Structure 1
């Protein structure tokens, strides 16, 4: 693997898409080749999975949900992420296996290790070089989501206790792997967050 794999994690409304876009724009201006993608939804197969896990009107059993995310991840890594890394590109990805551990492992109470092991098997052990965790209190995140005036998806619609478990798990994951994670207070101004992310990425590229 010769490229750089950066994932952006955090609760709904933390600003992942914004920071992914800003990082991509900065890297392209530096002359780097960048692939910006997301999970689920980074492939045609992923779009089908995304529709099921986020927008399906009926119930999706928690274990089925975890397996669907893992299936999408296996296909996405095989067809998009690894080829880009092998070319030497920088991959910036909105959500990866840490989201499954937080949302399905903790939020759905399926267990951290079980969900992590499933994703590691699906991806043949691929871990990011850097995971940016945008940490935001769930109540503040809900205010942001309400301001967007868009219908909530299945995960965004979960109760406060669910999102509290998700946030706690993200922070626990970051504490367990401090070398891989950059934890950023997502309540800061957008440009301040972007500067912190750029600083860490610059160190890795050098």
Structure 2
């Protein structure tokens, strides 16, 4: 789900930091419900939401509601194909699962896992929210869960220094995202 090129040329997205990023018009989405406090995916269907402003460098922090285990979902960076702006050239995906975090890159139909790390959360956390931070520096990814850095890896060369769109993808279990902050350039 890439935003249409006309939205970007309209000059509506000059801000680089978003205090209230859950405004529905800032997203191109399918299957996500937006409120002032967050966004929730629809269970048992593919839910995708792409933020309409591109970034070359990005820092994203958010909280995910946890009932018993961390729900499975993906955070993606999508890079347009310059020759075909409606198509994605490179997709970097951070796959969050109850017991692991992994990063993969998809370039021209070929997907390659770049790195995987085990994930251990508290058994009975006081808070039912897990804080997650993702930083894409233009050549590296840094992922933190809770207060712990869990994974770092190199960003795919085809995406390095190019504009990327932030996207969330969920399939089976509902995912509730709150306290979202997006910054970058």
Normalised by the length of structure 2, the TM-score is: 0.31
Q: Which has the higher helix share?
A: 1
More strand by share: 2
